[in-house]
């Protein structure tokens, strides 16, 4: 699969823009998005929610995870398996259970007793480099989430989370890309065009 030059340029531009955000900007945007997510009926009704640990100035959902624990919800985090570019999911009860993973991202330890069948997920909150008006997501290029949502996670409601500047006209989607059901930015829920 050869990635288009436009897609590579967009990824580089978005990552550069995100990398120059101040810690205060990231914290403020993250707090607003956590509040927006808590108002989603899909989150309110979900028992098992897939989150992620922030990396490279991504939106930080840890306050939302803490709220989920207080409400008795299950916090699920992915573990990347680079050998086959797959995600495996584990229930996490405390952030101090995490270990540094293959890509420098905090992730759950491999523990079969804590492993979650993807079909048990009620909702997925997904990071991205950019999201477009049709709901397509631009990630780092590994295809982990696309493989998951095209396969075992096909029926799970999925919402991207990002800063307002990450909501763009197009991310130059390819045939294998799977759109989000919505994208949450600090100002609210962006509903993809049909």
Per the listing, tokens 């909501």 go with 167
Name the CATH superfamily, with its identifier, for domain 5-190. Answer: NagB/RpiA/CoA transferase-like (3.40.50.10420)
**Is 128 marked within a binding site?**
no
Question: Tell me: the pLDDT tens digits for 149-174?
Answer: 999 999 999 999 999 999 999 999 99
**Is 121 marked within a binding site?**
no
Q: Are 189 and 153 spatial neighbours (Cβ–Cβ below 8 Å)?
A: no
**Is 144 marked within a binding site?**
yes
Question: Tell me: the pLDDT tens digits for 54-81?
Answer: 999 999 999 999 999 999 999 999 999 9
Return d(Cα 7, Cα 57) in angstroms, integer: 20
Buried-state track 124-162, b at ≥16 Cβ within 10 A, e below 16: bbbbbbbbbeebbbbbeeebbbbbbbeebbeebbbbbbb
**Is 136 marked within a binding site?**
no
**Is 8 marked within a binding site?**
yes
**Is 9 marked within a binding site?**
yes
Q: What is the pTM of this model?
A: 0.95
């Amino acid at each position: 699969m050869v990635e288009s030059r436009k897609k590579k340029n967009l990824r580089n531009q978005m990552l550069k823009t995100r990398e120059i955000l101040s810690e205060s900007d990231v914290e403020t945007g993250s707090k607003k998005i956590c509040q927006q997510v808590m108002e989603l009926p899909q989150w309110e009704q979900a028992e098992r929610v897939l989150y992620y640990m922030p990396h490279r100035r991504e939106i930080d959902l840890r306050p939302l995870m803490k709220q989920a624990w207080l409400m008795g919800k299950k916090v699920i985090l992915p573990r990347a398996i680079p050998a086959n570019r797959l995600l495996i999911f584990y229930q996490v009860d405390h952030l101090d259970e995490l270990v540094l993973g293959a890509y420098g991202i905090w992730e759950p330890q491999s523990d079969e007793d804590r492993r979650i069948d993807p079909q048990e997920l009620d909702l997925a909150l997904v990071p991205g480099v950019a999201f477009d008006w049709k709901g397509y997501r631009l990630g780092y290029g590994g295809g982990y989430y696309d493989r998951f949502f095209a396969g075992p996670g096909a029926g799970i409601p999925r919402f991207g989370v990002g800063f307002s500047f990450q909501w763009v006209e197009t991310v130059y989607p390819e045939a294998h890309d799977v759109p989000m059901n919505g994208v949450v930015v600090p100002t609210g829920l962006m509903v993809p065009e049909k």
